[in-house]
Amino acid sequence: MKAVSETILVVNAGSSSIKFQLFSVAGRGDLERRLKGQIEGVGVKPHLIARGIKGETVIDETWPPSEVDSVPKALDKVVSFLRAEIGQLPTAIGHRVVHGGPHYSEPTLVDDAVLKRLDAFSPLAPLHQPNNLAPIRAVRARQPQMLQVACFDTAFHRGHPEVADRYALPEALYAEGVRRYGFHGLSYEYIADRLPEVAPRIARGRVVVAHLGSGASMCAISGGKSVESTLGFTALDGLPMGTRPGQLDPGVVLYLMSEKGMSPKEIEHFLYNDCGLKGLSGISNDIRELLKSADPQAKRTLDYFVHRIALSAGMLAAAMGGIDGFVFTAGIGENARAIREAVVKRLNWLGIELDPDANAKGSPLISRKESRVACYVIPTDEELMIARHTLRVLRAQGTKQLVEKHA
């Protein structure tokens, strides 16, 4: 790949993997995706693979576990590969950060103070936040001059009316930040941006979006803005997910403590790792395996998943005073046609009529022409959203420096 003047690296880090994409910046500020890859199996069987814009393999390499035994070392491998591939370091790095807490409602340039504040939200997203921050720390230690931007999954929901953000708890706790934040905001923001092009007749209307993946949630978007979400203070609320239970009576937690003798840490691990589709089925957290299984428990789990989606759709429609459109997105929403069919069947009362042929083909519009409420399947692109935000901060930073120079 030839060197380009400006590039944006997008990083989404997990506990044992880093997904990344590289975008080049054209003269008019347009973003072009150049590379997409991941390094996985960190500390076990490190494997880096990346593909170019035509799907061609650019690198496919493995290392001994001891050579890549941490996320920072994995990031070193990614950056070294990119430097060799494009002849330079990225101009800026955009990071997905799950929780922005009450302080951050916009993409934010990261410094040590910001990093410390974000680290304080780790207990609210223990599966994600520490892993999201690890590569930011690694870059600051090795390349402190590198511009890094944190893009938050909570930011899109920050404009909610106050009544949607509160719990029925004393004011002091709300002031401390115990409130409903909502997540998957980068995905919802991308869908809201795509609606005018893909579905102009509902773009400014009342739309329920179902982000269905290993992590799952739903969002009510009215006039392009989030007004309500199924997720709240942490990523445990709302819909059942791959390994998380979703909506749960707080009394269950008290029961686990008092009757089962579980410590807070044990309960945290249990709720984040052993529940959801995995816990309910006793088979798998992968919806594909459950759809293939003839086990009655698999069917029960799928029925429960669909049931909770249908209940949440009614709640979100009520939050907007009606519904004009419904959108499926993310891994399950984009690919599991049987789940889409089952959900729409439960939502006939809202005015959604499924077109079975369009659903089977995975067409963008899967509702009948005469359906009062339109139903779409729109692939999400959180990475592009992060790249756009990072470029905006990069441009703002450049303008700031220019103003300071002239001053």
Please list the active-site residues. Answer: 153
Place of tokens 């920050």: 158
* Two structure tokens written together for 401: 């420096």
Task: Give the chain's largest Cα–Cα span.
Answer: 71
CA distance 191 to 211: 10
CA distance 342 to 276: 19
CA distance 326 to 344: 9
Nearest-CA neighbor of 345 among 299, 309, 300? 309
Collapse the DSSP code of 148 into the 3-class scheme (helix H, G, I; strand E, B; otherwise coil) and give the result. Answer: strand
Using an 8 Å Cβ cutoff, are 75 and 82 in contact? no
What sign results for the dihedral spanned by CA atoms 164, 167, 173, 178? Answer: negative
3-state helix, strand, coil in the chain (%, to 5): 45, 20, 35
Q: Which DSSP symbol is given to 134?
A: H
* Two structure tokens written together for 191: 């869908």
Q: Which residues contact 110 (CB under 8 A, 6 or more apart)?
A: 95, 118, 136, 140, 148, 149, 150
Place of tokens 């997905």: 96
Q: What angle do CA 179, 240, 274 make, to 5 degrees?
A: 100
Four-CA torsion 48, 52, 57, 61, nearest 10 degrees: -20
CA distance 361 to 359: 5
Judging by beta carbons within 10 Å of its beta carbon (0-12, 13-18, 19+), is residue 341 exposed, middle or buried?
middle
Nearest-CA neighbor of 109 among 364, 395, 348? 395
Q: Where are the beta strands (DSSP E) in 213-314?
A: 216-222, 225-229
